[in-house]
């Protein structure tokens, strides 16, 4: 079997889409004759915004997982932030107070590219040890946190390896980047790190075409064939349960994080005259709750298995793309699990974005502009009285099993020194 070393900060008991992505790759790697070795951080020393122990059920028996210590500044940040580790985009903070702004400034200018970089030396030492002991010549680093990519960069410079950099989110183009209050010097240093990673790695994997284009614009040395698109996906095994529901009223559900960056005025106005339930499950900031408190209910984050049950019990699924710069390339993991649920998807966001293209490709629903109240109303009303028939099979290309085949093909071609077209 082909051995590969995967370096990831987030690993069960951590939760979230990034963890699911790599747990599922690991789950199906052995079907592709690949033997993965994983390095992650010891949960006793880590800072996780989400916990989901249920994801350990997908890790195959006898998987080689190595956990290391880390040294992070989050204990101080959590004291400032009511003992909370910040979510992506600071969804659990709302409007930052004075002390949170100071913390963000320190985080953005003294911990570059991010405050998880205190793990790098621990992970690097463990990686060198495993590479030598197991005679492994291929390394995959996955981020965020993007500091993990610097571990791969150092290994590439010091060890005889092939290196794949998996970037699940944009780096310096992420929508909340300005919230970090970088100085000009700090931003340039971060940009230099990003550029070196995409130039020095042997292959780059991203989740959308828009992120690929952002990275291609960073360096003239990076050819298009070097960057591969492997989106997040859904695991068919997760949906092998009954999809019937017993809702007394039509249920429109949203599962995931939602903030003021996700415009919801149109959905509020559209459903005000419809006899439906609108339900949000996950982290929601206070402005969102205030906006929708008369028309929606809010539930706390649930484990992945429970979130699947919620999708299957719904009549329609709501997907909202935040109204921010570079949002056309946002392909949130929930989109693919929505596809796995085979329920109609009501998407609000850029109608020419990557998410809209996939929804249209799979005939899985429709995307509406942020202000299209009439279109949203008509779409909901249509499926309140008509059954949604999901006949298109294009969605199967986004199954975790098939996506793992795509990643395995890259690994195989790298091993054979073939140039991918």
pLDDT in tens, 379-416: 999 999 898 988 889 999 999 999 999 999 999 998 88
**pLDDT in the model for residue 421:** 41
Distance CA 34, CA 95 (A): 46
Q: Which two tokens stand for residue 237?
A: 């095994």
Percent of the chain past pLDDT 70, that is, above it, reads 91
> Any idea which of 79-93, 225-239, 349-363 has the lowest mean pLDDT?
79-93
Distance CA 12, CA 108 (A): 27
Each residue of 27-86: pLDDT tens digit?
999 999 999 999 999 999 998 888 999 999 999 999 999 999 998 765 555 555 455 555
**pLDDT in the model for residue 95:** 63
> Any idea which of 19-23, 173-177, 343-347, 406-410 has the lowest mean pLDDT?
173-177
The string over 269-286, giving b where at least 16 C-beta atoms fall within 10 Å of a residue's C-beta and e elsewhere, is ebbeeeebbbbbbbbbbe
Mean pLDDT for the chain overall: 90
Q: Which two tokens stand for residue 218?
A: 């960073």
In degrees, rounded to 5, the angle at the alpha carbon of residue 105 between the alpha carbons of residues 259 and 14 is 55
Each residue of 355-378: pLDDT tens digit?
999 999 999 999 999 999 999 999
**pLDDT in the model for residue 93:** 47
209 and 184 Cβ atoms separated by less than 8 Å: no
Is the per-residue pLDDT at 246 higher than 80? no
**pLDDT in the model for residue 99:** 67
**pLDDT in the model for residue 35:** 97
| Rounded average pLDDT over 174-192 | 84
Work out whether the CA dihedral 93, 94, 100, 101 comes out positive or negative. positive
The string over 111-144, giving b where at least 16 C-beta atoms fall within 10 Å of a residue's C-beta and e elsewhere, is bbbbbbbbbbebbbebbeebbeeeebbbbbbbbb
- Tell me the C-alpha to C-alpha distance, in Å, between residue 8 and each of 124, 136, 220, 281, 401: 12, 17, 28, 27, 20
Is the per-residue pLDDT at 344 higher than 60? yes
| Rounded average pLDDT over 188-199 | 95
7 and 148 Cβ atoms separated by less than 8 Å: yes
Is the per-residue pLDDT at 331 higher than 50? yes
The model's confidence at residue 243, banded by pLDDT at 50, 70 and 90, is low
Is the per-residue pLDDT at 94 higher than 80? no
Each residue of 256-307: pLDDT tens digit?
999 998 999 999 999 988 999 999 999 999 999 999 999 999 999 899 989 9
| Rounded average pLDDT over 87-109 | 62
Is the per-residue pLDDT at 98 higher than 80? no
Strands (E), 131-249: 138-143, 162-167, 203-206, 227-229
The model's confidence at residue 233, banded by pLDDT at 50, 70 and 90, is very high
Closest by Cα among 205, 239, 227, 211 to 336: 239
The model's confidence at residue 106, banded by pLDDT at 50, 70 and 90, is confident
| Rounded average pLDDT over 173-181 | 78
**pLDDT in the model for residue 1:** 86
Percent of the chain past pLDDT 90, that is, above it, reads 72
Is the per-residue pLDDT at 224 higher than 90? yes
Q: Which two tokens stand for residue 120?
A: 């790098």
252 and 297 Cβ atoms separated by less than 8 Å: no
Q: Both ends of the chain: CA-CA distance in Å?
A: 25
Domains and CATH numbers, the chain: 2-233+399-415 (3.40.50.2000), 236-398 (3.40.50.2000)
Each residue of 115-140: pLDDT tens digit?
899 999 999 999 999 999 999 999 99
The model's confidence at residue 91, banded by pLDDT at 50, 70 and 90, is very low
Distance CA 189, CA 380 (A): 48
Closest by Cα among 97, 94, 86 to 290: 94
**pLDDT in the model for residue 75:** 54
> Any idea which of 4-13, 92-101, 124-133, 268-277 has the lowest mean pLDDT?
92-101
Between 109 and 57, the higher pLDDT residue: 57
């Amino acid at each position: 079997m082909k051995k590969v070393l995967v370096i990831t900060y987030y690993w069960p008991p951590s939760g979230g889409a990034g963890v699911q992505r790599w747990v599922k790759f690991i789950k199906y790697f052995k079907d592709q004759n690949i033997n993965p070795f994983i390095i992650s951080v010891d949960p006793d020393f880590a800072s996780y915004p989400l916990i989901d122990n249920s994801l350990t059920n997908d890790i195959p028996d006898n998987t080689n997982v190595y956990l290391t210590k880390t040294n992070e500044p989050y204990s101080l940040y959590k004291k400032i932030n009511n003992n909370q580790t910040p979510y992506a985009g600071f969804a659990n903070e709302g409007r930052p107070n004075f002390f949170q702004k100071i913390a963000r400034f320190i985080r953005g200018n003294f911990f570059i590219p991010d405050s998880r970089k205190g793990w790098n030396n621990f992970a690097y030492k463990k990686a060198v040890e495993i590479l030598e002991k197991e005679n492994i010549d291929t390394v995959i680093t996955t981020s965020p946190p993007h500091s993990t990519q610097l571990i791969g960069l150092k290994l590439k410079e010091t060890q005889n390896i092939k290196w794949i950099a998996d970037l699940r989110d944009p780096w310096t183009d992420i929508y909340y980047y300005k919230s970090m209050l970088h100085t000009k010097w700090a931003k340039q240093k971060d940009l230099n790190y990003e550029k070196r990673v995409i130039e020095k790695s042997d292959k780059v994997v991203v989740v959308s075409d828009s992120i690929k284009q952002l990275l291609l614009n960073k360096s003239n040395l990076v050819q298009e064939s070097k960057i591969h698109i492997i989106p997040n996906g859904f695991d068919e095994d997760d949906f092998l349960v009954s999809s019937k529901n017993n809702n007394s009223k039509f249920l429109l559900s949203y599962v995931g994080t939602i903030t003021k960056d996700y415009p919801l005025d149109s959905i509020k106005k559209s459903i005000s005259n419809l006899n439906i339930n609108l339900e949000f499950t996950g982290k929601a900031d206070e402005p969102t709750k205030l906006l929708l408190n008369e028309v929606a209910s809010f539930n706390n984050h649930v484990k992945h298995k429970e979130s699947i049950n919620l999708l299957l019990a719904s009549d329609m699924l709501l997907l909202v793309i935040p109204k921010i710069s570079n949002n056309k390339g946002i392909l949130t993991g929930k989109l693919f699990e929505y596809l796995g649920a085979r329920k109609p998807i009501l998407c609000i966001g850029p109608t020419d974005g990557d998410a809209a293209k996939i929804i249209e490709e799979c005939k899985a629903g429709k995307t509406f502009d942020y202000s299209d109240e009439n279109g949203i109303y008509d779409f909901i009303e249509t499926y309140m009285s008509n059954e949604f028939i999901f006949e298109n099979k294009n969605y199967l290309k986004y199954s975790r099993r098939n996506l793992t085949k795509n990643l395995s093909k890259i690994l195989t071609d790298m091993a054979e020194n073939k140039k991918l077209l």
